[in-house]
Homo-oligomer: A and B are copies of this chain.
C-alpha cells in the first residue's frame, strides 16, 4: 500500500482537477477561502497552492489572487525561427521589449573570442527585457559586432525587433549558428529584473547568431527565461 498522501498534496490534486479544463486567467479561490472550505489551516491550503505554482499551473499576484495559466511553447532548433519576436508572433503571443541604450566598447579577450573579431574591435552590448502581458518574462544581453551595425543606436527605434533592423537596415540575414540551453538559478541581478522572489532556476539560453551573407558572427546572446511562462523545447537534429 502506498502511504496516504499528505493533506496539502491531496488538496492540490483536488484543486488541479477542478481547474484542469478552465481557460487561462481563471481566478482560484483565495487561500483563506480554501482553508475555510476544506477545514484546514491556511498554511496547509497555501502549501497546496504552492504545489500548483511549482507545477507551473498557476501564477500568484500579491494583493490580487492566483490565476490559471498556460505556458507558451518556445521551440528552439535548426527548424525554427531564430528571432524570439518572430517565434512569439507565430504563436499569436504579444510581447513587448524594452532595451537599454546599447553600450559601446572595444572588444576584450572574451568578446573577441566568442564573437570572432580582433581585439579592440568595436562591440555593442544590448540589454533587453521582454514582457509578456506586461510582466517581465525574459532578460538578457546581446553582444554585437559593432562594425556590422554602424549607428545601431539610432536605427533601433522603440519597439522594433533587433533582427528586423538587422535585415531591413543592414541587409544581414541572421541564422542560428550554435545554441545551448540549460536550467540554473540566475544571478541576483537577473532575478531582480524579473521581479522574482528568491532565485528559482530559470532557463538559460546562450546562442551565436551568424550572418548568412558574410558568414560572420553578428550576435552572441545570453538570456534568461522564466520557465513558468515558457515551455522551452529544444530539438537536436
Interface residues, chain A, with chain B CB atoms under 8 Å away:
2, 9, 12, 51, 54-56, 76-78, 176-185, 192, 197-201, 203, 227, 231-237
- B237 to A55, Cβ gap below 8 A? no
Copies in the complex: 2
- B178 to A55, Cβ gap below 8 A? no
- A237 to B192, Cβ gap below 8 A? no
Taken together as a complex, chains A and B put the C-alpha atoms of A201 and B203 apart, in Å, by 13
- A232 to B182, Cβ gap below 8 A? yes
Taken together as a complex, chains A and B put the C-alpha atoms of A198 and B55 apart, in Å, by 9
- A198 to B12, Cβ gap below 8 A? yes
- B227 to A183, Cβ gap below 8 A? yes
* 9 residue pairs, one from A and one from B, having the closest CB atoms: A179-B236, A55-B185, A234-B234, A182-B233, A51-B198, A181-B234, A180-B235, A178-B237, A54-B200
Task: Report chain B residues within 8 Å CB of A9.
Answer: 197-198
Q: List 29 A-B contacts (CB under 8 A).
A: A9-B197, A12-B198, A51-B199, A54-B198, A54-B201, A55-B198, A55-B199, A55-B200, A56-B201, A76-B236, A77-B236, A176-B237, A178-B236, A178-B237, A179-B235, A179-B237, A180-B233, A180-B234, A180-B235, A180-B236, A181-B181, A182-B233, A182-B234, A183-B183, A183-B203, A201-B227, A234-B236, A235-B236, A236-B236
